Structure 1
Amino acid sequence: MIVDDQELLRRGLAMVIDSQPDLELVAEAGDGQEALDVLASRAVDVVVMDVRMPRMDGVRATAQIQKLSRPPRVLVLTTFDLDEHALGALRAGASGFLLKDAPGEEIIAAIRHVHAGDAIIAPATTRRLVAQLVDQRETDPTAVLQMLTEREQEVFGELARGASNAEIGARLYLSETTVKTHVGRILTKLRLRDRVQAVVLAYESGVVRPGSR
């Protein structure tokens, strides 16, 4: 489902989505409240959500979507490259954040990744977002790490830096299946929904610091 108050943008994105054999546009909405009304009666896997809209903005709508019994994943797509929107959307439960000027193929790839449970954060936003997370740090890193085994801590660190399962496996000499198992256990132990929340927690707690590799 596409949620945006600009009909022209919805039409353009709809054409891109409908051109893909594995994607189907099943609904549109002009604001967050309309999106919630649609979701009350229609099953959707991924919502592509604008941030600034009348009646209910994308951040509030994303937070409300998370309260549904089977919430779809939310990919926030906006023209506003501002930290508070990125951070607000991610904290509200979005699985990804991209700018509207991203190429069509990048947006399509992001929809697929979000559907698969991966995290998507616009590269142009990441550095400023991380800096803000560090400034607002509230979580004790020791408390976070104490919940994980030594190997899980290593995987968590790589996960927070945006590494894929294959990259984590190569760096830690683990199979992708083993990495996937570790990631699942980490998300369960830390009560995180997905990899985006893992990134946010890692920087909020100071487990990973800006510029670390």
Structure 2
Amino acid sequence: MTIQVLLVEDQNLVRLGICSLLELTKEIKVVAQLSDGCDVNSVCSQYQPDIILLDIRMPKTDGLTVLSNMKSVGLTVPVLVLTTFDEHDLVLKCMQFGARGYLRKDVSLESLISAIRCIINGELWIQPAITEQVHRHDLIADINLVNQSIEALTSKETQILRLIAAGYSNHEIAQAVHKSDGTIRNAVSAILAKLNVRDRTRAVITAMEHGLI
């Protein structure tokens, strides 16, 4: 099965570079390209992409507006946000508006493909390097200011949450930390309860907002 991609990026060289990289694979095809976000909804209706690679900063309709517009019309195509290191505040806002992950524009082809596969499979893709930059720029609340209704996570729960953020399934996490699948399921349930969220996506976003990962 070929993964069909809609690429939305205003810089011509970056857009052509990403397309050239993806053309090296047989499983991914760029079915449409846009240099601005204003026509994303209509192009999605026409081409039915499996995933959108979306730039944050564009001259007319930026990535955040695209996500908001998609949400308003119920368009559920998963979105991978493309970013640079000076856009941490917008990255977090995009995640809050429904983006499934974010990735630097200068990543390797292997990382790009891994991110696309991960998001297509219903997981999140959180690039650790960007998360660390977010922490350093104080764009996520300091851990000491975490809402009192959120219980502290144990070191093991934090480790599991980081693996969730990296796109690992429960089974993959169990293999990584040498625990049973049932133990990991219970741990994930405990994490969701402590963070007062219903699902893994909200758990990751909440943890990012409060500086837990």
TM-score (norm 1): 0.74
Counterpart selection for 2:53 from 48, 55, 68: 48
Once residues 141 and 174 of structure 2 are traced to their aligned partners in structure 1, the CA distance between those partners, rounded to angstroms, is 24
**Identity over aligned pairs, percent:** 28
Is the Cα–Cα contact under 8 Å of residues 137 and 204 in structure 1 kept in the other structure?
no
**Could you report, residue by residue, the CA deviation over 1:109-151 in whole angstroms, capped at 9, with x for unpaired residues?**
1111111122222222112324432249987353x56xxxxxx
Give, in whole Å, the separation in 1 of the partners of 2:144 and 2:68: 21
Q: Tell me, which stretches of 5 or more residues in structure 2 are unaligned?
A: 1-5
Residues 80/43 of structure 1: CA separation in 2 closer, same or farther (3 Å cut): same
SS in 2 for 1:76: strand
1:14 is aligned to 2:19: yes
Q: Do 1:60 and 1:92's aligned partners in 2 also have CA atoms closer than 8 Å?
A: no
Q: Specify the alignment match of 1:128 in structure 2.
A: 133
Quote the Cα distance in structure 1 between the aligned partners of 2:110 and 2:60: 31
Verify: 1:23 aligned to 2:28, yes or no.
Answer: yes
Residue 200 of structure 1: aligned partner: 205
Residues 4 and 49, structure 1, Cα contact 8 Å, conserved in 2:
yes
Q: What letter is aligned with 2:147?
A: D
User: Residue 58 of structure 1: CA displacement?
Assistant: 0.8
My pick for the range that moved more, 51-60 or 113-122, is 113-122
The answer for the alignment partner of 2:3 in structure 1 is none
Q: Is the contact between residue 51 and residue 79 of structure 2 (CA under 8 Å) also seen in structure 1?
A: yes
* Residue 161 (1) aligns with residue 162 (2): yes
Q: Aligned in 2, Cα 1:72/1:138: closer, same or farther, shift over 3 Å?
A: farther
Q: 1:57 to 1:105 in 2, by over 3 A?
A: same
Q: Which amino acid aligns with 2:163?
A: G
| CA distance in 2: counterparts of 1:39 and 1:137, whole angstroms | 42
More strand by share: 2
Correspondence 1:28-177 to 2 at 5 A: 28-130=33-135, 131-135=138-142, 140=147, 142=149, 157-163=158-164, 164=168, 165=170, 166-168=172-174, 171=177, 173-175=179-181
One of 2, 10, 34 as aligned partner of 1:5: 10
Q: Is the 8 A contact 1:159 1:199 kept in 2?
A: no
Deviation, structure 1 residue 81: 3.3
What is residue 190 of structure 1 aligned with on the other side?
Answer: 197
2:125 is aligned with what amino acid? I
Q: 1:69 to 1:155 in 2, by over 3 A?
A: farther
